[in-house]
Copies of this chain bind each other. A is one copy, B any other.
Amino acid sequence: MGRKAHISDADLVAAAARVAAKLGPGRTTINAIAREAGVPVGSVYHRVPSRAALLAEVWIAAAQAFAEQFLPALAAAGTREAAADVALVTPRFARANHAAGVVLLAHRRDEFLDEAPEGPRARAARLSSDLQKGLGDAARRLLPNDKRGRERLTVALIGIPYGAVRVFLPQATPPAELDPVIAAAARAALD
């Protein structure tokens, strides 16, 4: 079955995520990724077709991990009060997974996806539209009278916690004291 790989594909994506979190996607070179992962550049190209494709995988992995936390919590929220707690998914995610948090929260999606090949681009689009759909469904349920409900829910449950956490990223991790502040702000934004 051939020689054993030093690292898994997921490890490679994680190494790329750490570099991208630190330097930003624009300065994330294949050399830097290879060094961070501890493999030669040739091995990187053995696994991925291009730098653009790898950067796309970095964003997709981060977004997927976030969506797995966020969407079920959102779907389960039956009241506005409960929905406000969904805003806490973001700080928790940022604490548990610093690099993915920085990728998602401190950089622009476009910079990871602009030059990506079709396949990854489509998967990324699906992730984004899943998120939109989840927010739309929840808005109809929780804010039925608000014509711009989805936008408001997005601001309350994504934008506000995102901004609050970003005050601390990428140098530090958001402190625990932040969570009640985020929850209160999200609640206020929903009323």
On A, residues with C-beta under 8 Å from B are 24-27, 106-108, 110-111, 148, 151-152, 154-156, 158-167, 170, 175, 177-178, 181-182, 184-189, 191
Contact = CB atoms under 8 A, between A and B. Distances in A.
Contact of A163 (B151, B164, B170): B164
B178 A188 contact: no
Contacts of A191: 184
Nearest to A28: B26
- A25, A107, A159, A175 — which one has the most chain B CB atoms within 10 A of its CB? A159
A80 B117 CA distance: 50
A177 B159 contact: no
Contacts of A160: 160, 163-164, 185
Nearest to A188: B188
B26 A27 contact: yes
A106 B177 CA distance: 25
Nearest to A167: B159
A166 B163 contact: yes
B107 A108 contact: yes
Contacts of A148: 175, 177
A166 B159 contact: yes
Given A107-B108, A108-B24, A108-B106, A162 B166 contact: yes
A24 B167 contact: no
A156 B160 CA distance: 9
Contacts of A107: 107-108
Contacts of A165: 159
Given A154-B167, A159-B163, 20 more contacts: A24-B110, A26-B27, A106-B108, A108-B170, A148-B177, A151-B167, A151-B175, A152-B181, A155-B163, A155-B178, A159-B165, A159-B167, A160-B163, A162-B166, A163-B163, A163-B166, A185-B185, A185-B188, A187-B188, A188-B188
